[in-house]
Structure 1
Amino acid sequence: MKKEEPLPGRRALLRGAAGLSLVPLATTAGCFSSQGSAPPAAGPAAGAPALSRPQKPSAYRLRPLTGYGPARGLPAAAPVRSKPILRLASRDRTMVLTFDDGPDPRYTPGILRTLRQYDVRAMFFVCGEMAAASPDLLREMIDDGHVIGNHTWTHPQLLRLGRAAVRSEIESTSEVVRRTVGEAPLWFRAPYGAWNRAAFEIGAGAGMEPLAWTTDSLDWTEPGTRKIVDNVLRGAGSGVVVLNHDAGGNRSQSVDALRIYLPRLLDDGYRFGLPRRRSV
């Protein structure tokens, strides 16, 4: 797939959310593997209720982002971890929403609209081949204040690849993000949650911290909108990182579920932030 050529003057990738400070708290014991995307389902999910309690756009989102200009290279190397971050230290019931496998023009725009409606920031762990095919969606993410992470180029099982192939998957994705939005990702997530030494070392060498998740919405199984909502609400808590998907299958249920659980969590007093990479 042909990579998108760089466009000068695009807004640079945000490194965190204004007014929120989340730092790594807990990591998993050793490498782990969990399920990933499932094949597309036969049809869309049942419709969700209309959005409630919309918020006015924040001044943060309305003012232009600073720091953009000529594209910069990869960030400085990050510390090499042996375990991915699973949870983040937070105050005031702050959580992190993440979306994997996109961007997909069929589903990502609906997720972005809902996040914009409620003035919430999230993290999008993109696959390079999807990012190259939909560069405008990456720019929209950045314009709305979201953070883009690296989820490899083709979403392979990294444990089955040699080191050179792992490096190509990771570094080519960082490069297409950098050329599209002006700065390379600072966060990496291994497909299927399958980590190994090469993933940690190569990710760190490309300037990224490894972020996993605390709560799996299980939307990749396409269990129905209501089940996804229940999974997220049941797993809510301070510092929780929620795994969702905006590609990799029929994600109509994921789009509908976000419309339901996001206002409920806000009504319950939860806030949503972005992680800040520790000083290196």
Structure 2
Amino acid sequence: MKNDQLLTRRRALIAGATVLGAAGVAGTARVLTAEPAESPARNAPAVAGPQARRALKPSAYRLQPVTGYGPPRSALARPVVRHEPILSMSGRGRSMVLTFDDGPDPRYTPDILRTLREHDVRAMFFVCGGMAVDNKDLLSEMADEGHIVGNHTWSHPLLIQLSRSEIRSEMERTSDVIKDAYGERPVWFRAPYGAWNRATFQIGADLGMEPLAWTLDTLDWTSPGTRTIIDRVENGAGPGVVVLSHDAGGERSESVRALRDYLPQLLDSGYHITVPRRRYA
């Protein structure tokens, strides 16, 4: 959904979608596998609650980011149909994943890519087909720089209100655009508003994708201020955390500025900003 149209719709739907989505994914949180770093990881909390801001401890070294995607697609079996999305990552070391939804947007995505490039780290971009089809060059750039592109539907609808054929169309059309611009079909998807049901899991798996949610929501779409976004990331940082931000769907300059601040802070504190390997179970 382009530009500012998402904001009004998001405010109207987010509360109901959260309740419905939570009901559909109740149970033990799944984890995804990351590249190993240096030390054993702890499981991150499913939800990062309010915390007083704490200073990040500096590290004497900077962990190297991951550039690989794991085994070739031909070596992977079809994903199982899950009953809840993956919420956090497992692995070794102080690993975290940064994710950006709703793009790509030529006003903000290039700046985010530039910041990631400056610090030589990789992230995940869950793109909407309606945005991607007009900005295929940005998907090509993501591919060239080792980022992972995931499926966030075509028009950012509330999937739990759609028929199975409509859900499939939203996902399949977007996967086609990603394949054309990125070079391969996506292996990850994320439901808009975090609203999942049986059909989304089944259709996603049928299209060869794993469902990924998040651990830490920056709530940047509410325009809380750059400092607030930075504080939320720094206070919620921890091994296994998957951070949700946005590079489109509204005015995202705060998200761009916040990344410039918190990314070097995380790296200097010894966090390993990585992208996941896919493992079916």
CA distance in structure 2 between the partners assigned to 1:110 and 1:160 by the alignment: 34
Q: 1:161 to 1:279 in 2, by over 3 A?
A: closer
> In the aligned structure 1, how far is the partner of 2:191 from the partner of 2:257?
26
1:210 counterpart residue number:
211
How far has the Cα of 1:179 moved from its partner? 1.5
What residue is the counterpart of 1:226 in the other structure? 227
Distance in 1 of aligned mates of 2:236 and 2:131: 29
SS of residue in 1 equivalent to 2:240 = coil
Q: Alignment partner of 2:150: what SS?
A: strand
Residues 27 and 85, structure 1, Cα contact 8 Å, conserved in 2:
no
Partner of residue 186, structure 2: 185
- Alpha-carbon distance in 2 for matches of 1:17, 1:85: 13
Alignment of 1:123-202 (within 5 A): 123-202=124-203
Give the whole-Å Cα distance in 2 for the aligned partners of 1:18 and 1:240. Answer: 14
1: distance between equivalents of 2:94 and 2:66? Answer: 23
The residue number in structure 2 matching 1:97 is 98
Unaligned runs of 5+ in 1: 2-15, 29-54
Matched to 1:159, the amino acid is: I
Contact 2:157 2:192 survives alignment (8 Å): yes
Contact 2:94 2:240 in 1 (8 A): yes
Return the alpha-carbon distance in structure 1 between the equivalents of residues 220 and 249 of structure 2: 11
One-letter code aligned to 1:217: T
Cα distance, 1:176 vs structure 2: 0.8
- Aligned match of 1:80: 81
Rounded to whole Å, the distance in 1 between the matches of 2:34 and 2:147 is: 8
Percent of matched pairs sharing the same residue: 62
Q: Does 1:258 align with 2:271?
A: no
- TM-score where L is the length of structure 2: 0.75
Compare 156-165 and 102-111 and name the one that shifted more: 156-165
What SS does the corresponding residue of 1:97 show, helix, strand or coil? strand
Aligned counterpart, 2:239: 238
Q: Which amino acid aligns with 1:248?
A: G
Relative to structure 1, the CA distance from residue 182 to residue 194 in structure 2 (aligned partners, 3 Å threshold; closer, same or farther) is same
Match of 2:248 in 1: 247
Aligned CA distance change for structure 1 residues 106 and 242 (closer, same or farther; 3 Å) = same
CA–CA separation in structure 1 for the residues paired with 2:44 and 2:163 = 29
Cα 1:158–1:91 change in 2 (3 A) is same
CA distance, structure 1, for counterparts of residue 44 and residue 183 of structure 2: 31
Equivalent residues of 1:95, 1:273 under 8 A apart: yes
How far is the alpha carbon of 1:208 from its aligned partner?
A: 0.5
Counterpart amino acid of 2:175? S
CA RMSD of aligned residues (A): 3.2
Counterparts of 2:96 and 2:222, CA distance in 1: 23
How many positions carry a matched residue from both structures? 231
**Larger helix share, 1 or 2:** 2
Conservation of the 8 A alpha-carbon contact between 1:213 and 1:242 = yes
Query: Which blocks of at least 5 consecutive residues in structure 2 are unaligned?
Result: 2-32, 47-61
Using the TM superposition, give the Cα deviation of residue 159 of structure 1 relative to its aligned residue in structure 2, in angstroms: 1.2
Asked if 1 retains the 8 angstrom alpha-carbon contact of 2:160 and 2:196, the reply is yes
Structure 1 counterpart of 2:117: 116
Cα distance in 2, alignment partners of residues 20 and 162 from structure 1: 43
My pick for the range that moved more, 83-92 or 99-108, is 83-92
In structure 2, how many angstroms separate the alpha carbons of the residues matched to 1:168 and 1:196?
A: 16
Quote the Cα distance in structure 1 between the aligned partners of 2:244 and 2:89.
Answer: 14
- Aligned-partner SS, 2:277: coil
The offset of 1:181, in angstroms, is: 2.1
How far apart in 2 are the matches of 1:209 and 1:76? Answer: 12
Residue identity matched to 1:200: F
Deviation, 1:77, is 3.0
Using the alignment, how far apart are the partners of 1:26 and 1:231 within structure 2?
15
TM-fit CA distance, 1:19 = 6.7
